[in-house]
Amino acid sequence: MNTTPLHDTAGSHLVTQVPVASATDTVNYVLSVLPGRFYDTTDAIYIVDDSGRLLGLVRFPHLLAADAASKMSELMVQDLPMASPDDDQEKVAILAIKHNITSLPVVDGEKKLLGVVPPQTLFEILRREHIEDLNRFVGIWKENNRALSAIEASPTRRVRDRLPWLLLGLIGSMVAGSVVAWFEHILETRISVAFFMPIIVYLADAIGTQTEAVAVRGLSLSHTPINNLLTGELRTGLLIGLFLGILIFPYVFLTSEDTHLALAVSLAVVIAGGFATTIGFLLPWFLSYMGKDPAFGSGPVATIIQDVLSLLVYFLVVNVLVM
């Protein structure tokens, strides 16, 4: 069942005054009937049959360059992407980009042409989706329709838009604090363990944020099986973690003069990097699978989980290698 709001669908953005022709019409005939009529968009001629089913399109540059006696069937592009009226607006914009077209036709269940989503609307959809993604990346709850509304709104409105995810972050911080308290005996015995906690947490967050940025929109564009994507991201995270772990080893050793602690910090960076990429990928994917915007799975939500897991990994590794 489609849960996309009506104002965010292809049907809410289509225009109906578009130039159409039949497959048997000649270039000369089409050019003769176009003047004197108003069209909402004129980037292409849409070819339909007698019942209004969409057969293809002829782009205007090709129409103007063709021989006057040529028929539309000889010029038209047949393999067209099409949207249904209840398709999400972002899917519409992505289809247009993937197929390098400036307008996307919208058809009903019988492929009858209802209209097209024009170029200026596709541009506006991409701009709006970009703004919403940026807001969600930083934990702003409200789907703002204006670019400046998040900063121009009243203080109480801004608090209401930003607070929900931060409250969830507060709960996550409490959990992270409980993890640290759980391993209090390690800190009491080896206070130097605490010096490197910010390194583990920061690197895990940074690696996860990169994965989220790639996954949020990449999931909409890629047709690669999910298992391959996840495996690739996990390997990427482990390789990044391994590289950073090697670099951090001499620093920890020189600071603490403890080989075991240096090894523990390096190993924790490797493992935390693998976890961070997995979480940064799986959260957006799960939300996308559930029909929600994957951007909701980024930012504060992923950060909470990554922080807790990276601390847990760090203390467990230290407990095994150092204590």
Place of tokens 């973690």: 241
Q: Judge whether 137 lies within some domain.
A: no
**What pLDDT score does 69 carry?**
94
Per-residue pLDDT band at 32 (split at 50, 70, 90)? very high
Domain coverage including residue 223: 171-321
**Residues 107, 200 share a domain:** no
171 or 289, greater pLDDT: 171
What is the average pLDDT score of the chain? 82
Asked if the model's pLDDT at residue 17 lies above 90, the reply is: yes
**Residues 179, 102 share a domain:** no
- What number is the average pLDDT over the span 111-132? 84
**Residues 290, 190 share a domain:** yes
Q: pTM, whole model, 2 decimals?
A: 0.60
Count Cα neighbours of 171 within 13 Å in the Cβ-side half-sphere: 8
97 or 196, greater pLDDT: 196
**What pLDDT score does 221 carry?**
57
Place of tokens 């203390």: 315
**What pLDDT score does 6 carry?**
52
Tokens linked to 212: 């989220």
- What number is the average pLDDT over the span 237-266? 91
Closest CA to 57 of 101, 90, 16, 114: 101
- Identify the burial level of 233 via C-beta atoms within 10 angstroms of its C-beta, where 0-12 means exposed, 13-18 middle and 19 or more buried: buried
**Residues 195, 89 share a domain:** no
Give yes or no for a contact between 106 and 114, defined as CB atoms under 8 angstroms apart: yes
pLDDT, tens only, 69-87: 999 999 998 888 889 998 8
Distance CA 288, CA 212 (A): 13
Q: Judge whether 22 lies within some domain.
A: yes
Tokens linked to 159: 């608090």
**What pLDDT score does 148 carry?**
47
Q: Judge whether 66 lies within some domain.
A: yes
Concatenating the DSSP letter of every residue in 177-232 gives HHHHHHTHHHHHH-GGGGGGHHHHHHHHHHHHHHHHHHHHHHHHH--S-HHHHHHH
What DSSP character marks residue 71?
Answer: B
Asked if the model's pLDDT at residue 164 lies above 80, the reply is: no
Q: Which of 100, 124, 148 represents a domain boundary (last residue)? A: 124
Q: Judge whether 98 lies within some domain.
A: yes
Give all strands (DSSP E) within the chain, no chain letters.
20-21, 44-48, 54-59, 104-107, 113-117
- What number is the average pLDDT over the span 157-170? 73
Q: Judge whether 194 lies within some domain.
A: yes
- What number is the average pLDDT over the span 88-106? 84
Closest CA to 21 of 75, 72, 68, 67: 72
Whole-number Cα distances in Å, 279 to 84, 308, 314, 317: 33, 12, 17, 20
Closest CA to 79 of 97, 103, 99: 99
**Residues 228, 308 share a domain:** yes
Asked if the model's pLDDT at residue 21 lies above 90, the reply is: yes
Distance CA 254, CA 266 (A): 13
189 or 98, greater pLDDT: 189
**Residues 297, 199 share a domain:** yes
**What pLDDT score does 294 carry?**
60
**What pLDDT score does 257 carry?**
87
**Residues 76, 199 share a domain:** no
Closest CA to 282 of 204, 214, 230: 230
- Identify the burial level of 276 via C-beta atoms within 10 angstroms of its C-beta, where 0-12 means exposed, 13-18 middle and 19 or more buried: buried
Tokens linked to 21: 């022709």
Q: Judge whether 161 lies within some domain.
A: no
Q: Which of 59, 89, 124 represents a domain boundary (last residue)? A: 124
Distance CA 257, CA 136 (A): 43
288 or 14, greater pLDDT: 14
The number of domains in the chain is 2
**Residues 302, 197 share a domain:** yes
**Residues 314, 178 share a domain:** yes
**Residues 208, 82 share a domain:** no
**What pLDDT score does 9 carry?**
84
Per-residue pLDDT band at 114 (split at 50, 70, 90)? very high
Tokens linked to 42: 């004129």
Asked if the model's pLDDT at residue 272 lies above 80, the reply is: yes
**Residues 232, 299 share a domain:** yes
Q: Judge whether 130 lies within some domain.
A: no
Indicate which CATH number applies to the domain containing 288: 1.10.357.20
Q: Judge whether 151 lies within some domain.
A: no
**Residues 305, 176 share a domain:** yes
- What number is the average pLDDT over the span 249-267? 92
Indicate which CATH number applies to the domain containing 71: 3.10.580.10
